[in-house]
Copies of this chain bind each other. A is one copy, B any other.
Amino acid sequence: MHQERIARVAQQLAQTDHDIIFVAPGADLRYLTGYDALPLERLTCLAVRTTGEAWMIVPTLEKPSALAHKVPDMGIELLDWQETQNPYSLLMSAVGQPQRPLVNNLMWVEKAFGIQGASGTNVELAGKLLSDIREVKTPDEVTYLHEAGAAIDQVHMNMHKWLRPGRTEREVGKDIAEAILAAGHVTVDFVIVASGPNGASPHHEVSDRIIQAGEPVVVDIGGTMASGYCSDCTRMYVCGEPPAEYLEHYAVLMAAQEAARLHARPGVSCESVDAAARNVLESAGLGEQFIHRTGHGIGMETHEEPYIVIGNKSLLVPGHAFSIEPGFYFAGKYGARIEDIVTCTEVGIKSANNTTRELVVL
């Protein structure tokens, strides 16, 4: 599987006027090789030529780990460097002089400049070369995303155990973090518990604020499974009776989120999915309170292509996986967001998150 992915990168590369691509640790490298090398100060880097030839350089102390991940079995030539060697020079000696090298977008600039320095050639961004491949998920990847969705659903279904008035967001968040691991994730990627006015900040995390009765609470949580695939799901809670006005807004938000889910299918543009949700909120006078795009792609990263945003005219195809998460935010008062991860099928979408989208009254 990984060998095929690398071959595909080489094929795509051959259709450009670039001769080699360098890929640093991160989701791109995990996708291409299955090797979850840590992004460290020491250089680890994959290089793929248009011919399909591939090399990976790792620090000597990571060599056992690279071997355990069967790097050489994928047809990748494994190089290692000692603490006192220059890894960039070693890498260039192995791959030969690059003419127009690409680097993956999320490489640290110090590594990109290291490659630039050792090769004596300017590097350019891989741009969509890798994301065009990664954004269309195989059936196995779709399964992994639905497994991740089921795991985070488990956590939402148990929210009544932790979310209570009188507890702080941080206390609740700590319990949730433990539950994310207990549900089968290997890492906790983020825990947002945003009560009352904190809910007006879409990416508020947790604070020492004490949750009050009658306050809406945004709970947006996610982690990464052993498969390497991520979960991300937002549900809304309230302990006791919410303000009447909030319930009216919430009904609009549910309709907006449903409109986007009903609209999404192969052949429609990403921006039209955004519009489907946005139109409902705008019609109800909540357009200015919806201050972000409707969604983001997801896979081995929580945020990746395709982005469900105004201006993205790319068409959905089966295998695309993304969030549908409209929201509204009133500064100083409260906020709301409903988020599902969905995968595009041959005829529509399938949701990886399946707990109720209603406001959950605890």
Binding site for B on A (CB under 8 A): 38, 40-41, 59-62, 64-65, 68, 83-84, 103, 105-113, 123, 125, 174, 177-178, 181-182, 187-188, 190, 200-204, 291-293, 296, 303-304, 307, 309-311, 329, 331
Contact A65–B203 (Cβ < 8 Å): yes
Contacts of A108 in B (CB 8 A): 105-109
Least Cβ–Cβ distance between A36 and chain B, in angstroms: 8
Q: What's the dominant secondary structure at chain A's contact region?
A: mixed
Tell me the number of copies of this protein: 2
A-B contact pairs, 29 of them (CB 8 A): A41-B304, A41-B307, A59-B292, A60-B292, A61-B202, A61-B291, A62-B203, A64-B200, A64-B201, A64-B204, A64-B331, A65-B203, A65-B204, A68-B204, A83-B292, A83-B309, A83-B310, A84-B309, A84-B311, A103-B109, A106-B108, A108-B108, A109-B112, A110-B125, A174-B181, A177-B181, A178-B178, A178-B182, A187-B188
- A105 contacts which of B60, B109, B174, B293 (Cβ < 8 Å)? B109
How far is B180's CA from A174's CA once the two chains are assembled, in angstroms? 11
A131 to chain B, nearest CB (A): 10
Give the CA-CA distance A310 to B337 in the complex, in Å.
52
With both beta carbons as reference points, the residue of chain B lying nearest to A208 in the complex is identified as B226
Rank and list the top 10 A-B pairs by shortest CB-CB distance, nearest first.
A64-B201, A105-B110, A109-B112, A61-B292, A61-B202, A109-B109, A106-B108, A107-B109, A83-B293, A65-B201
CB distance from A251 to the nearest CB of B (A): 23
